[in-house]
Amino acid sequence: MGLKLSIVTISMLLLVKFIVNAECNIFDVRNYGAKANADITQALTNTWKAACASAGPSKVVIPGGKYRMGAVKLLGPCKGRIEVQVQGYLQASGSPTGDSWVSFVHVDLLTLSGSGTFDGQGKTAWGQNDCVKSKYCNKLPINIRFDFITNSVIRDITSLDSKQFHINVLGCKNVTFQHVTITAPETSPNTDGIHIGRSTGIHIINSNIGTGDDCVSLGDGSRDITVEKVTCGPGHGISIGSLGKYPGEEPVSGVKVIGCTLTNTMTGVRIKTWPDSHAGIATDMHFEDIIMNNVGNPIIIDQVYCPWNQCKAQIPSKIKISNVSFKNIRGTSKYREAVKLICSRGVPCEKVQLQDIDLAYSGKEGPVEYHCINVRPTISGKQNPPACTVKA
């Protein structure tokens, strides 16, 4: 209970800090040439530059209406706190090029708000990448990038049909996502909802994510991350990793996934590392009070993650996983193996806890079961299916 209260307190303090009782200089994109049903790329760029250079708090306003927009990079630092309020419907224009559509870079005290929509027009690009045959996929634009953003709030916006990840968070500190909606078809490839890497103090709260890949994914260097009251589905679940593919990856630590609901997702809560990996650490990761509705493999540690056979699966992972807990996870599994803990034989998992697990399987392949390798979990409370036994 104390943990949940602390998260709410953090969220409210941030909202109060950036929103309440402050008069802003208003910068309306229409005053810089924006018109409905037209391209506003240059108008938004000019509006941002003026607002960012303004002394004191400022607000960029994109009013209701439909607008086309090419790639924009909104650069800081700014002279004061800045809000971008999107009420309109923004539609990506032009051929898919580069790695981002809308980018916020080096901004402190940013608020991105409003009931508006960022429509990435992903249907125009999803067929261009064949990741099954190619080791490295072509770059496609991410709907919204946050690079080196600090002390900021993103709330109430919608990301629709991104060509690649919907939201990418890199090198950020103390950023809260609240009441964010992310939508794409289950068949859309590589469209992670929110991907976080090398960032600290990121909180995703009360958000709805349905997409074609992970609803939330955490890359290396993710520290002090909270995912609370997120609904996920369709998608691949909530994932840490994959880790270990590249040299020099930073440790992952301090992850809390609390009070989430996953429905019809490919997997549930998952930690995944590559075999034949570079060395690394993933520790202090906790999953609690989670509902699974017809989820394939609701609980997974997968240290032989090797999509499309792009690795040497026979060489064990060098990512050390420790201090992991799964508590009060309940619902239904799409497959018989509701719990899969497949750890590395080179660096077996340590301090894994399973408490009050209740997962039913209604298929015809046999009783629901655990599958455990190279791990000796601590078991307590209700265990349905019966707790796993260690396999060599």
**What digits encode the pLDDT tens for the residues 103-162?**
999 999 999 999 999 999 999 999 776 555 554 456 899 999 999 999 999 999 999 999
Confidence grade of residue 61 (pLDDT, cut at 50, 70, 90): very high
333: pLDDT strictly greater than 50: yes
- pLDDT (tens digit per residue) in 220-262: 999 999 999 999 999 999 999 999 999 999 999 999 999 999 9
Dig out the tokens for 273 from the structure: 């590392």
Q: What is the pLDDT of residue 313?
A: 75
Mean pLDDT for 74-84 is 98
Omega before residue 63 within 30° of 0, cis: no
326 in Cβ contact with 287 (< 8 Å): yes
- Structural domain count, the chain: 1
More confident residue, 386 or 116: 116
347 in Cβ contact with 320 (< 8 Å): yes
303 in Cβ contact with 348 (< 8 Å): no
More confident residue, 184 or 23: 184
Omega before residue 77 within 30° of 0, cis: yes
> CATH number, domain at 229?
2.160.20.10
Q: What is the pLDDT of residue 136?
A: 46
d(CA 270, CA 284) in angstroms, rounded, equals 14
pTM of the model: 0.92
Q: What is the pLDDT of residue 131?
A: 54
- pLDDT (tens digit per residue) in 21-48: 458 899 999 999 999 999 999 999 999 9
The mean predicted confidence, pLDDT, of the chain is: 91
Domain of residue 162: give its range: 2-124+141-384
Angle at 357 between CA 340 and CA 372, to 5 degrees: 25
User: Does residue 260 belong to any structural domain of this protein?
Assistant: yes
d(CA 50, CA 54) in angstroms, rounded, equals 6
Q: What is the pLDDT of residue 309?
A: 73
Dig out the tokens for 105 from the structure: 């870079």
Indicate the residue type of 86.
Answer: V
**Percent of the chain predicted with pLDDT > 70:** 91
More confident residue, 25 or 1: 25
Mean pLDDT for 195-214 is 98
202: pLDDT strictly greater than 80: yes
User: Does residue 360 belong to any structural domain of this protein?
Assistant: yes
80: pLDDT strictly greater than 90: yes
Confidence grade of residue 92 (pLDDT, cut at 50, 70, 90): very high
Given the structure tokens 């655990």, which residue do they identify?
Answer: 370
372 in Cβ contact with 390 (< 8 Å): yes
Confidence grade of residue 282 (pLDDT, cut at 50, 70, 90): very high
Provide the 3-class DSSP secondary structure of residue 365: coil
User: Does residue 29 belong to any structural domain of this protein?
Assistant: yes
Which residues are registered as beta bridge partners of 322?
283, 350
312: pLDDT strictly greater than 70: yes
- pLDDT (tens digit per residue) in 335-370: 999 999 999 999 999 999 999 999 999 788 888 888
Q: What is the pLDDT of residue 19?
A: 45
Tell me the C-alpha to C-alpha distance, in Å, between residue 15 and each of 136, 176, 229, 361, 382.
Answer: 40, 9, 18, 42, 39
5: pLDDT strictly greater than 60: no
User: Does residue 133 belong to any structural domain of this protein?
Assistant: no
Provide the 3-class DSSP secondary structure of residue 4: helix
From the list 195, 236, 278, 371, the catalytic residue is: 236
User: Does residue 391 belong to any structural domain of this protein?
Assistant: no
Q: What is the pLDDT of residue 133?
A: 53
User: Does residue 392 belong to any structural domain of this protein?
Assistant: no
Q: What is the pLDDT of residue 16?
A: 42
User: Does residue 98 belong to any structural domain of this protein?
Assistant: yes
Would you call 236 a catalytic residue per the annotation?
yes
User: Does residue 34 belong to any structural domain of this protein?
Assistant: yes
Lowest mean pLDDT among 236-245, 311-320, 328-337, 371-380: 311-320
